[in-house]
A = this chain, B = another copy of it.
Amino acid sequence: MRRIIATLSDFGLDDNYVGIMKGVMLKIDPDIEIVDLTHSVEPQNLIQAALVLHSAYKYFPLNTIFLCVVDPGVGSNREPIIVKTSQHIFVGPDNGVFSQVLRETGYEAIHRVTNENYFLNPISNTFHGRDIFAPVAAHIAKGVPLQEFGAQKDGYIVLTIPEAVLKDEEKKLYGEIIAIDRFGNLITNIEQEFVVDQSDHIRIHIKEHTIQGLADSYAQRSEGDLLAIIGSKGYLEISVNHGSAKKDLEVAIGEAVIVEYIIQKESHG
């Protein structure tokens, strides 16, 4: 069966970096199937890369190899690693890019990548995606056992990604925008568990705007209306039906989003 390699990077598609990595892999194992996750991660933005990987990995087949090259430390002493989880394999620099996934899945083994027999020769100082990570991913696809690449190690670099904070005394949840998509949808770091069953009892505040409760679909609101909805990533999102919340609200990543839990008055009767 064809082995799938899913690729993620900040290389963009305007240069030939991604195409070259694919050539390198196909030269080692012509039977792989390569899928692009995205190559438009903002240059060197590890948090974005970690979130992109986290919201995607579970939709891929068992044994997919994820090649993740967002690598601001290329050429330094940051370690190339292979991470094996119960379902997938991840190849890339140990710089936190895997930490959102591993927080969720744990891992079975992490190998340092040190065996130069599986690298291109010579190795450049600036493009380990081509010279180390892509060839290692292709050799894994071809069946090389993980211990061949290097010894196991414990632990991995963890990124600090802003988490929503619940303040019980205030009956408020303080979150923020952590991503914005092409449609101008604002993805927050507020997990659906905090809002999903309380739709009638919450108000959501962003800048000077207040949104009452959640919509079940974009179409449930009028065109142009601001709404809050559980997005496809499982987080609270702020959107505009047939429009762009990003444009209408003029917000950027980092903007505060506050969920206010409404204290219900007892009914007298």
How many copies of this chain does the complex contain? 3
CB distance from A191 to the nearest CB of B (A): 14
Instruction: Please state if B242 and A56 are interface contacts (CB–CB under 8 Å).
Output: no
Q: Is the C-beta of A22 less than 8 angstroms from some C-beta in chain B? A: yes
Contact A230-B124, Cβ < 8 Å, known A20-B59, A56-B23:
yes
Instruction: Please state if A217 and B19 are interface contacts (CB–CB under 8 Å).
Output: no
CA distance in complex: A232, B229 (Å): 43
Chain B minimum-CB-distance residue to A14: B40
Instruction: Please state if A56 and B16 are interface contacts (CB–CB under 8 Å).
Output: yes
Size bracket of the A interface: 35 or more
CA distance in complex: A43, B13 (Å): 15
A-side interface mostly: loop
A244 CB contacts on chain B under 8 angstroms: 43
Instruction: Please state if B16 and A125 are interface contacts (CB–CB under 8 Å).
Output: no
A17 CB contacts on chain B under 8 angstroms: 181
Chain B CB within 10 Å, residue with most, of A2, A59, A231: A59
**18 contacting pairs across A/B (C-beta < 8 A):** A1-B30, A4-B30, A13-B39, A13-B40, A15-B181, A19-B36, A23-B61, A26-B33, A26-B35, A44-B242, A72-B218, A74-B218, A74-B219, A75-B219, A75-B220, A126-B237, A126-B239, A127-B232
